[in-house]
């Protein structure tokens, strides 16, 4: 019998996260202070020490605290599926596997770090966390994490999403978080923006500024970020470690190609980092690792590798990363999680070293792939995940042409049950492709910070 799914026993779950910084052939460039441009840590009033230590640690293994393992076990380990029905639908000799992170209570990989971050804040005596959210994926994941550890959470949600996409807000409130539309009356920056434009639709940049101000002005409050940073990628390696074990020990195979979508990079890095180590070691030189992004926000495929601010306001540390410019505001595609102007420095560094590659796909083609996946495997995937599904299908179709039976591993980051309006737009022929706004990127790149390094 050809198995359809592979799963670990709870007692075989990873008990330590894998830290790629121990094995990088060249160390990561530092983070720079936004004003002095000297190497810096994450701003201490915003982040607790334990997370700051993890951010710069070069220890290969970092123990998952027992309390975090206990919460992980409420949904982990997650299942590795063999996509027999998709393979049949494509009539491909490729063997397609996917690791599905949509079975977490939040519906994606994001609770992997949300739970860990809530734990470390609780340990440090923090009472309250402030964060921002666009469409609500990160806000809801952190609401869940804070609920488990008895922390208060204030979420600044971009106003236009707050009004148009109420369901994730309701999820946050059910878990006990407070969610306000941003710009709000609750911060100085929010009041200033509303003073100038009472009908401001908000933006992720404004919401970040409000959450940072909130954390900086309350002694008991810290700030939290759901992607990009090293410690966020670290917490997500629990997924890649599970997958590697399942592939080697149960499915008795090893991927030729690993595919995932990248917004800030956390879900895909969490999957591929334990595998990229084999490439660095030279034991799997032919392994291909493909990052997929939208053509409307082509950070890796069109953005230069440069020093840029992590945030729109130019107040966050400066990172060396591929960037479209911190002032770049991507078009309103449905994959809200893939619209960040920069990218995790770890991903940019590995790409520079030639260890991973990147490609971009247009929105319509991603929904077509998502519908093919739903009509074969049954799972309705997040619009972000559909980007990875597109490239998985394309690689499987190449195998059909060449007759090769490659093993393809898809990092499936989450379900799309809160994105049905986007599917509705696609199915009723109302969805469009957005061109890469070259002029806007040029404008945004003109304001990169001057760094002499």
Ligand X SMILES: *Cc1c(COP(=O)(O)O)cnc(C)c1O
261 binding ligand X? (CB under 6 A): yes
- Token representation of residue 80: 């590795």
* Residue 75 Cβ vs ligand X, minimum distance, rounded to whole Å: 15
State the Cα–Cα distance between residues 248 and 162, nearest whole angstrom.
44
Between 122 and 326, name the residue whose CB sits nearer to ligand X. Answer: 326
Give the whole-angstrom CA distance, residue 406 versus residue 305.
32
Q: Is 385 in the site for ligand X (CB under 6 A)?
A: yes
In the sheet with 39-40, reading across from the earlier edge strand, the strands are 39-40, 31-32, 318-322, 305-309
Applying the rule CB under 6 A, the residues between 38 and 57 that interact with ligand X are: none
Are residues 96 and 392 in contact, defined by beta-carbon separation less than 8 angstroms? yes
Q: Taking Cα atoms as reference points, which of 424, 398, 69, 396 lies closest to residue 242?
A: 69
In sequence order, the 6+-apart residues with CB closer than 8 A to the CB of 230 are 21, 28, 54, 55, 56, 344, 345, 346
Q: Pick between residue 190 and residue 416 the one whose CB is nearest to ligand X.
A: 416
Q: Which CB sits closer to ligand X, 190 or 264?
A: 264
Cβ pair 388, 260 in contact under 8 A: yes
Whose Cβ is closer to ligand X: residue 77's or residue 264's? 264
To the nearest whole angstrom, how small is the minimum distance from the Cβ of residue 444 to ligand X?
20
Distances in Å between the alpha carbon of 124 and those of 54, 119, 144, 176, 453? 14, 9, 19, 21, 35
99 DSSP β-pair partners: 80, 411
**Smallest distance from the beta carbon of 249 to ligand X, in angstroms?**
26
Interacting positions 201-260 with ligand X (CB under 6 A): 227
The one among 110, 159, 235, 244 contacting ligand X by CB under 6 A: 110
Encoding tokens for residue 55? 């951010």
Query: 153 or 271: whose CB is closer to ligand X?
Result: 271
For ligand X, give the closer residue by CB, 14 or 414.
414
Binding mask 335-364 for ligand X (x = CB under 6 A): --xx--------------------------
| DSSP annotation of 226 | S
Footprint on residues 411-430 left by ligand X (CB under 6 A): 413-414
Question: Does residue 264 bind ligand X (CB under 6 A)?
Answer: yes
Our finding on whether 265 is near ligand X (CB under 6 A) is yes
**Among 113, 137, 203, 323, which residue interacts with ligand X (rule: CB under 6 A)?**
137
Site for ligand X contains 117 (CB under 6 A): no
Question: Which residues of this chain interact with ligand X, rule CB under 6 A?
Answer: 108, 110, 137, 227, 261-267, 337-338, 382, 384-385, 413-414
């Amino acid at each position: 019998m050809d198995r359809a799914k592979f799963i670990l026993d709870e007692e075989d779950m990873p008990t330590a996260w894998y830290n790629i910084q121990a094995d990088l052939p060249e160390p990561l460039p530092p983070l720079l202070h936004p004003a002095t441009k000297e190497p810096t840590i994450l701003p201490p009033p915003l982040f607790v020490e334990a997370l700051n230590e993890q951010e710069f640690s070069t220890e290969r293994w970092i123990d998952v605290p027992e309390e975090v393992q206990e919460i992980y076990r409420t949904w982990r380990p997650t299942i590795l599926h063999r996509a027999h029905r998709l393979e049949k639908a494509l009539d491909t000799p490729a063997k397609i596997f996917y690791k599905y992170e949509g079975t977490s209570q939040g519906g994606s990989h994001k609770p992997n770090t949300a739970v860990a971050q809530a734990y470390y804040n609780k340990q440090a005596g923090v009472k309250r966390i402030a964060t921002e959210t666009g469409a609500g994926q990160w806000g809801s994941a952190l609401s869940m994490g804070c609920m488990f550890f008895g922390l208060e959470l204030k979420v600044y949600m971009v106003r236009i999403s707050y009004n148009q996409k109420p369901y994730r807000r309701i999820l946050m409130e059910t878990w006990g978080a407070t969610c306000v539309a941003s710009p709000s009356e609750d911060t100085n920056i929010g009041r200033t923006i509303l003073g100038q434009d009472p009908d401001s639709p908000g933006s992720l940049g404004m919401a970040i500024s409000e959450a940072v101000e909130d954390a900086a002005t309350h002694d008991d409050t810290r700030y939290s970020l759901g992607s990009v940073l090293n410690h966020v990628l670290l917490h997500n390696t629990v997924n890649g470690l599970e997958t590697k074990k399942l592939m080697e020990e149960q499915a008795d195979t090893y991927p030729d190609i690993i595919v995932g979508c990248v917004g800030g990079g956390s879900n895909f890095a969490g999957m591929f980092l334990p595998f990229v180590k084999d490439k660095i070691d030279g034991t799997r030189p032919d392994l291909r690792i493909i990052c997929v992004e939208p053509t409307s926000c082509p950070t890796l495929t069109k953005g230069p590798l440069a020093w840029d601010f992590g945030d729109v306001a130019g107040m966050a540390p400066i990172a060396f990363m591929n960037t479209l410019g911190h002032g770049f505001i991507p078009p309103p595609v449905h994959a809200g999680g893939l619209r960040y102007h920069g990218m995790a420095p770890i991903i940019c560094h590995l790409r520079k070293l030639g260890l991973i590659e990147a490609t971009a796909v247009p929105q319509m083609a991603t929904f077509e792939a998502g519908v093919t996946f739903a009509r074969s495997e049954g799972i309705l995937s997040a619009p972000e995940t559909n980007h990875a599904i597109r490239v998985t299908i394309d690689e499987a179709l190449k195998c059909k042409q060449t007759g090769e039976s490659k093993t393809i591993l898809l990092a499936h980051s989450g379900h799309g049950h809160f994105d049905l309006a986007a599917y509705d737009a696609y199915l009723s022929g109302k969805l469009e492709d957005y061109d890469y706004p070259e002029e806007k990127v040029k404008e945004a790149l003109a304001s990169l910070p001057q760094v002499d390094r």
